[in-house]
Every structure is written in C-alpha cells, then in structure tokens.
Amino acid sequence: MAAHKPVEWVQAIINRFDEQLPIKTGQQSTHSKVSTEHNKECLINISRYKFALVINGLTNILKNVNNMYIDPLMCLFGALSLDFISQPKDCLRLDEAMLVKQLLPEICHFLHSYREGQQHAAQLRSSASAVLFSLSCNNFNAVFSRISTRLQELTVCTEDTVDVHDIELIQYINVDCSKLKRLLQETVLKFKSLKKPAQLAVISSLEKAFWNWVEHYPDEFTMLYQRPQADMADCAEKLFDLVDSFAESAKRKAAVWPLQIILLILCPEITQSITKEVGGEEKANKKSFVDSLRKALGQHSGSRQLTESAAVACVKLCKACTYINWEDNSVIFLLVQSIVMDLKGLLFNPTKPFSRGAGCQSADVDLMIDCFVSCYRVSPRNNQHFKVCLASTSPPTFHFVLVNSLHKIITNSHLDWWPKIDAIYCYSGELRTMFADTLGRVVQSLGAHPPLRMTSSLTFKEKMTSLKFKEKSTDLDSRSLLLALVKLIHADPKLMLHNPGKPGQEIQNSTAELIKGLVQLVPLNHSTELSQEAMEVRLFVSLNLLFGIVNQKLKLKNVIKN
C-alpha cells in the first residue's frame, strides 16, 4: 500500500495522529500517550521522503485546533519542529516553499496571540518559537522575506501605533554568520525611516538574534576574533552610529546600550583601539559610549535606568568574552577587567540587592547567573562573588543564583577553554551545610518528620555556618532552592562528597547523611518533581560511591601485585 498509494498512506497516519490528540480523546492514558508518540515518530520518518504531504496535513490540523487546548498544541508543535529538523537540506522545491508560506502565518499567530500573564503563554510561545527556529534552518529566505516586507511597510507608515510582530520574528530564527549579516544590513538600510516603536522592536530582536548565533554557532564567533570580517564590522559600525543618534535621552540610552555593546563586540579592531585608547575622531562616539557605561556602572550617572542598563550591557560583554579564546584576542579581556569589579559590586551586594522592580525578578536572577558563570569562565580563581553568594547572611536569592550557576558550569561546558567545576570542590562542606538547612526548612514547612541533621560529621566551622542559615525565605523559595541543590548533586555528586584531608569515619558519616537527606525527600507527596529527582540522585550517588570503592580496590590490588 505504501509503495502504490503514498498519499493515502501518509494521510492515514496524519488522521490517526489527529484522532489521538487529547482534544478528541480526553485525558490521555499511558497507552494512548505511547501511541501518540509512536505516530509522531512515524510522521517524522515519513517527512524525510514526503515532507510536503506531512507538513500540509499538520498545518491543516493546526488551523483547526483551538488556542485553549495546550496539550494538542504541544504535540503538534513538537511534531512540526522535529519534521523541519529532519527535512533534507536539498529538498526544498516550489510546492514545499508554498507550504512553508502557508504554515508561517499559523506559527506567527501563536507567537503573537499569547502575551505575558496568560495561562500557558510562555510554554506555548516557547514551543511555537522552536518550530520557527527549526523551520528557518532550511527556509530562512521565507522568514526573512516576511521580516523584510514588514520593515519596508513600516518605513512609509505614518501611524504612531504600529504592529511590530513580524519584526519580532528576528529573535526566534536560526542565524549563522551570513544570515546575521543580512539582518544587520537590512536594518541599516531601513532603521532611520522607522517609527520609534519599530526601532525599539528591531533593537531588542537583533540583540536576541546575536545570542542565537553565538550559542548555536560558537565556532563562527570565535573565528571572528581570529580573522576579523570587514563586512560584518562595517555594517555593525554603521548600525551602532544609527542607534547612537537615536539614543538622545537617558530612557533611549537605557534601551539601546545592550545592543550597542554587542555591535561593538562585532568590531574587534575598533574594540582594540578603544581599549588601547587610540583611534581617530570618527571613533569618538564609541569611546564615549564605553566611558558612559563605566560611569553608570559605578552609579555616578545619576540615573537608575542607565545604571541598570549598564549592568545588563556589561554582563553581555563578559558573556561574549567567554566565547573568545584569550589567546586569540587578549585585548577585549582588558576591557572586561576594567568593569568587572564594579559590575560584581553592583549585582552581588548583600546589603543592597540588585533589583529592577517586582516584574523583573526572574530576569534579575538570570542576569546574576549569567554574570556569575561568565566571571568564573573568564577567571575561575577570582571568586569573591562566590563567597558572597555562599555566605549564610546573604539574601536567599544569592543562594539560588549560586546553586544554579554551579549547575550551569557543570552541565554546559562545551568549549575547550571553559574551566571545569573542580576549583569549587574546596567549598563542599559549606554546600552540604546549605543542603542540610534548606532540607530542614522544607521538611518542617511540609509538616513531615523532624529533619535528619548533618551534625556529627561537621567541623566546628561548618557547625557555626549551619547556625547562621536562618529561616528567612518563604516555603516556596526554600523548595525551589532545595530542588536546585538536588539537581546540582545529580550533575556532579563529587561537589557535595569532596572531603579532602578528613578522617575516614568523618567522610563516611557525611556521605551517609547526604544520602539520608535524599531518602527523606523521596516520599514527599507535596512536590513530585523534587521527590522524583531525589530518588534518581540517591541511586546515582550510590552507584558513584560503589564505582569509587571498586576502583580503589582494583588500584590497591595492582599496587600489591607490583
């Protein structure tokens, strides 16, 4: 049947996938979920040969699914995303290009119709953006054409209120070096003719596009500092000048500084001349920009907005530097060194925690994590901010930032020159204390049995630290921190098990108590994720210990033999 009637066969699979979506079957059982996943895998495999048929079928389903039904949407977005990843690069024919243009408005609808505060908004936007990212890998021209057309329309628009949704697509697409260059060149041509809302949308979206490039094509960015590209630097400098002219007030400066630092990073030779304080009059606005950043970061600008924007821009500078091998261009690291102390003093001040307001708490935490991780990667031994975050008297947010930063350092370390976590092993005792006290607060707040305390194996210093961890965070804060700590143990058990120079019995006791703490979390019904994670970590830690014991015995046997 498949060989003689491919259209009917593909349609049968699509119909079965449609019929098994939760919108039609109701609450899915384990069996129906497995069946849906199986059908999704079939569609992905078929799409390698009948891409147009599969995409057409899924697009039609997507048009008919109500926005309120999150589960079928998630299934559809997952299938579409994987289909585009599986699409052969050389298969884009005319009919398939037309299908992409039909699907693109549907994806854009889901990206644009969900705003912050709506139920499932972030989840749906993330899934829809994943489809757009995958679609743009092999169909960049279709997405770029939509963006370019909207930019052109807005250059002649006389209305003050404009629709910038299509411009915002820039932040979701897959861009390599050449595609980023096209976006910058297109912006340079049209930026001056745009109204302020469109200009701000372009500024925000281009910044996100830069990080999409760096994070997905880090080798290309690294190469930029080994072999600077004149055409990339040229359009980046032109856009810098346009944006600089746009930023005529403190409010506008605050909006554009994060993009301006990125545009400056894309001009290695200009950055070098600024750092060495050489260069002609034509580079004066770049030097003035860097001086303004330093002034605002030191809180001498008299504007809170500028200080906050300077913090964001400088974190982005530090983060970008981690993707450059210091052997390739050490000059830009001099720029980082000139601002990093003020930056850490602003973000990691326990007596005056950094905050951009109640609605920015999550973004503030992400900013602090990026700063922590970037500073570690640039200079792992320079860890004053680490000690501040570890201090028992610091705000709970600092502890959360510390634990999540360590997890990121362990789990995201794909560049050769990024340092590993072993420089932090010496703080294992303090981290165990944090785990014990956080566990105690969570167990007590849930009304469970009295917590198992890590006391017998603690040193005097560790006991004193334990007494200082006061119950100053909410139950939700403590549970979030505890889950982060358990995930950290899962990522690298040695970080909590390290006991250099301690007697054997003390090592055994601290290890046993760590496992007992994890055991205590397994039966908790109040937090399924925490319980499941603790169960997996307990097994993982036990296996690591067993492997370590066996390995030591084998080494001992070899020594005896020799």
How do the residues of the chain divide into helix, strand and coil, expressed in percent and rounded to 5? Answer: 75, 0, 25
Question: Nearest Cα to 274, choosing from 319, 210, 338?
Answer: 338
Average pLDDT, the chain: 79
Query: pLDDT by residue (tens digit) across 372-398?
Result: 999 999 988 887 888 899 998 899 999
What is the spatial distance between Cα 103 and Cα 555, in angstroms, rounded to a whole number? Answer: 61
* pLDDT of 553 above 60: no
**String of DSSP letters for 175-225:** --HHHHHHHHHHHHHHGGGS-HHHHHHHHHHHHHHHHHHHHH-HHHHHHHH
Q: What is the largest CA-CA distance in the chain?
A: 87
* Residue 295 scores a pLDDT above 80: yes
Rounded percentage of the chain residues whose pLDDT exceeds 70: 73
Q: What is the pLDDT of residue 77?
A: 62
pLDDT at 461: 35
Taking CA atoms, 26 is separated from 14, 18, 33, 135, 459, in Å, by 19, 13, 12, 30, 56
- pLDDT score of 525: 52
Q: Give me the mean pLDDT over the 330-351 stretch.
A: 90
| Structure confidence by residue, pLDDT tens digits, 157-179 | 888 788 898 999 999 999 999 99
* Weakest-pLDDT range from 299-308, 484-493, 510-519: 510-519
Q: What pLDDT is attached to residue 99?
A: 61
Lowest-confidence region among 41-50, 169-178, 485-494, 522-531: 522-531
pLDDT tens readout for residues 237-249? 999 999 999 998 9
pLDDT of residue 349 exceeding 60: yes
Note the Cα 117 to chain centre separation in Å: 21
Say which residues have a Cβ less than 8 Å from residue 115's Cβ, sequence separation at least 6: 121
